Amino acid sequence: MFYDLNIPIATTTSTTSSKKGKNKQIQPSNSPQFTNAQLIAINAHLDLLIHLGYTVVCFNQTVHKRVDPKTHVNALNELLEKLKPRQGILFLKRLSVILDEDSEKGFGLINANTSFFNSYDILSLIPTNQATFALACLTHTLPSPLTTHIISIPLTLPRFPFHLKHTLIRTAIKNGAVFEINYVGALGGESDSVLLEAGAADANGANGKRNWWAAAKELVRVTKGKGVIVSGGVVTQADLRAPRDVANLMTFLGLPQDIAHAACTSVPKSLILRAQTRKTYRAVFSEPTLVIPEGYSAPAQLPPTVTPDSSTTTSTAPTTAPPSSTQQVTSSSKQNKKRPREEDGVDSNQKQNPAGPSSDAQAQGGDKKKKRKKNKV
Amino acid sequence: MVRFKNRWFLVEFLPIPSNAKILSIPSTQSKPAAQLELDGRKIHSALKQSILANYGDVGWGAVALSLSVKYCSPTTNICIIRVGRDQHNIVWGALTLLDGLEDMKFIPNVVHVSGTIKHCQLAAIAHNRTVIARYRAMAKAPTTYQDSYETYLESSNREIEALQD
């Protein structure tokens, strides 16, 4: 079972909509975005991947700066319908957002857009400066329907963009995120066109190679090999490599052999399972069952804290994430640590009620504060 | 006993048209594709260049005495390479970073690594059989059809089994 979690698909409409600016309203087009020639090329690429031994393959759509649900089209849904069906191969969809200074204020990964992001299996971020990196590691790895499970640091840039702070990385790994290394940089191959435009990858192959070795080694050093996955990012067919070859390359970065092999197999596997928990409440894997100890008599009046519990059981009931014994242990411990709270706006069942009055109150409070400041001035 | 241990790689080279990308593929060859003529010497020199470029003189020095290309088959594009056990990582890495011979690009795919020549021979024979079976399936010939592949299989099996350390 070998995983390739980054097969970049650059679509034409997404790049043009970012160039045209914010003023023009572009209707999301439903016209086929992939020509026949492109489909043949993608099928050939997939044939090679399968020949080399990959069984799980994830298509990656990259967006620059921000995601606007009105104009952004999930091209991968359409692509998956058009690909020829293959036995025993799992296809996944992934969205990457490149973060730079303009995205610090917000880039569309908010609760209101949750339904739009549910069409992607995995979300990931590509931070390019210190502030967005801190944002990505701390806020966006917390369990929620919008967790970005993969943080992909651009490795081919000439000046390593920011200092990798050990505490930030440790928090991200504790929350379940992983850091991604794209092996295309080691070969000096061509990166995804959206990355090149956004300045997140070096166009010159030879320089990119040298920067890659330096940056990847640094990343491995800071993460101590823990939350690291290896993926392709390969655009040119000639840059594809078999998974064991890639694992051998990783040993030169300082990863011991078994961890290098795990970075291609077991770490992506648990990542995909964890990414499925975006559809559950607060990263709970399995359906919790209420166990009443013998000799316990329920009190006559139900205390108010019981109602959030019952609503969480109903919200996790329709999940189809495969439970396993070890995951149940970890999920039950997670559930104990993070008890559902009523004012938590993440749970969709309760989103309406508390969100309404609390946001109004905040708005009113804000207005009052503003008014007070004006009066003073 | 300090015995000198080796590692034997079975490498398959998959030829790729040089500008095939994920979203565009060159239209069926305007000029006849230059066939990848796999030659033991060419592979050895390409591998030497790759080791020198990626690991420098130090890397090449570690590997040079024990590196040799033992067998090469142009039809099925496989190659058997022998290296010393302590330095086989260097050669494996250089092989992965190798991306072409002269003007033809290919993907190096290490199919099997073993410590003895025996298992490498077995893996090579099995690999030849699967490749020939794939060719035959594509040609949609009935299974008992005698074609030139049969003689090729026999001769290559004999060559492989004749390999000496």
Please check whether residue A249 touches B, CB under 8 A: yes
pLDDT bin (cut points 50, 70, 90) of residue B57 is: very high
> What is the ipTM metric for this complex?
0.81
User: Average pLDDT, whole number, for chain A?
Assistant: 70
pLDDT bin (cut points 50, 70, 90) of residue A241 is: confident
Q: What domains are defined for chain A?
A: 3-12+31-283 (3.20.20.140)
- pLDDT of A25 > 50? The answer is no
How far apart are the C-alpha atoms of A267 and A261, rounded to whole Å? 9
The pLDDT tens digits of the residues spanning A68-127 come to 777 777 777 777 777 777 778 888 888 888 887 776 666 666 666 777 777 888 888 888
Widest CA span of chain B, in angstroms? 59
- pLDDT of A321 > 50? The answer is no
The pLDDT tens digits of the residues spanning B109-157 come to 898 899 988 898 898 888 888 888 877 777 776 666 666 777 777 887 8
How far apart are the C-alpha atoms of B5 and B87, rounded to whole Å? 10
Rg over CA atoms, chain A? 23
Please check whether residue A186 touches B, CB under 8 A: yes
Highest mean pLDDT: which range of A1-15, A100-114, A336-350, B85-99: B85-99
Contacts of A42 in chain B (CB under 8 A): 22-23
Strands of A228-231's sheet in order across: A2-8, A54-64, A90-99, A122-127, A150-152, A178-182, A228-231
Contacts of A51 in chain B (CB under 8 A): 14, 109
Residue B20 distance to chain A (closest CA, Å): 6
How far apart are the C-alpha atoms of A215 and A148, rounded to whole Å? 22
Strands of B68-73's sheet in order across: B68-73, B78-84, B6-16, B104-114, B100-101
Best residue in A47, A248, A252 for a mutation probing chain B (most B CBs within 10 Å): A248
Please check whether residue B59 touches A, CB under 8 A: no
- B141 φ, ψ (degrees, to nearest 5): -90, 150
The pLDDT tens digits of the residues spanning A26-76 come to 344 444 467 777 788 888 888 888 888 888 888 888 887 777 777 777 777
How far apart are the C-alpha atoms of A27 and B70, rounded to whole Å? 61
- A130 φ, ψ (degrees, to nearest 5): -60, -45
pLDDT bin (cut points 50, 70, 90) of residue A198 is: low
The pLDDT tens digits of the residues spanning A261-284 come to 888 888 888 888 888 777 666 666
How far apart are the C-alpha atoms of A150 and A123, rounded to whole Å? 7
Strands annotated E in chain A: 2-8, 54-64, 90-99, 122-127, 150-152, 178-182, 228-231
- SS3 assignment, position A125: strand
Answer with the residue of higher pLDDT: A331 or A92: A92
What is the arithmetic mean of pLDDT over A240-268?
A: 87
How far apart are the C-alpha atoms of B25 and A131, rounded to whole Å? 40
Which pLDDT score is estimated for A325?
Answer: 39
Name the strand (E) or helix (H) holding B70: strand B68-73
Q: Which of A236, A237, A242 sits opposite B109 (nearest CB)?
A: A242
What Å distances lie between residue A356 and A146, A308, A312, A363, B49, CA to CA?
Answer: 20, 18, 20, 11, 67
Which pLDDT score is estimated for A236?
Answer: 80
Contacts of A244 in chain B (CB under 8 A): 110
Alpha helices in chain B (DSSP H): 40-63, 88-97, 117-139, 148-161
What is the arithmetic mean of pLDDT over A350-361?
A: 40
Contacts of A182 in chain B (CB under 8 A): none
- B15 φ, ψ (degrees, to nearest 5): -75, 140
Please check whether residue A210 touches B, CB under 8 A: no
pLDDT bin (cut points 50, 70, 90) of residue B58 is: very high
Rg over CA atoms, chain B? 17
The pLDDT tens digits of the residues spanning A207-239 come to 788 888 888 888 888 888 888 888 888 888 778
The pLDDT tens digits of the residues spanning A201-212 come to 666 667 788 888
Strands annotated E in A107-211: 122-127, 150-152, 178-182
